[in-house]
């Protein structure tokens, strides 16, 4: 089932196979924006996580992934640093943005949060 022009619900489904895929539409809108900005496919490393899978991968107990508000992403041929820089410049006072060596975390929480480095 398509959620938008470029994203399918299955891309966000919990990796444990439980079927949890209740993703926030606002996150999809942000990811469409990222795709359009870089004119490149966005790969979802991790989207929704059930509580069991979240614990298994070492996620925080109240992770935005468990709420369907988050995705860990890569953009084809774009560094995670460039992705995080774009998100932080576009959404200066919104959302959660995490910088990691191999991916960027984005979530649509109601408060602002920033963490990590790309180094």
Span 60-106, pLDDT tens digits: 989 999 999 999 999 999 999 999 999 999 999 999 999 999 999 99
38-47 core/surface letters (b: 16 or more CB in 10 A; e: else): beeebebebb
Confidence at 11, pLDDT banded by 50, 70, 90: very high
Mean pLDDT computed over 103-117? 96
Enumerate the domain spans of the chain.
9-113
CB atoms within 10 A of CB 15: 15
Strand spans (E) along 7-119: 42-46, 70-75, 96-99, 104-107, 113-116
Q: Is the pLDDT of residue 114 over 70?
A: yes
CATH code of 9-113, in short, is 3.30.1380.10
Mean pLDDT of 30-36: 98
Rounded Cα distance, 14 and 83, in Å? 23
What is the C-alpha to C-alpha distance for residues 41 and 47, in angstroms, rounded to an integer?
Answer: 16
State the pLDDT at residue 7: 97
Q: How high is the pLDDT of residue 117?
A: 79
pLDDT at 119 over 90: no
Read off the pTM: 0.94
Average pLDDT, the chain: 96
């Amino acid at each position: 089932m398509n959620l938008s022009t470029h994203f399918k619900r299955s891309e966000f489904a919990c990796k444990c196979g439980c079927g949890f895929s209740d993703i926030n539409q606002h996150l999809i809108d942000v990811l469409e924006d990222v795709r359009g900005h870089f004119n490149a496919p966005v790969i979802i490393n991790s989207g929704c996580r059930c509580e069991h899978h979240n614990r298994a991968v070492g996620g925080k107990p109240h992770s935005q992934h468990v709420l369907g508000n988050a995705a860990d992403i890569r953009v084809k041929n774009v560094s995670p640093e460039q992705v995080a820089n774009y998100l932080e410049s576009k959404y200066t006072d919104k959302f959660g943005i995490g910088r990691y060596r191999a991916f960027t975390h984005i979530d649509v929480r109601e408060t602002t949060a920033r963490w990590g480095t790309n180094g």
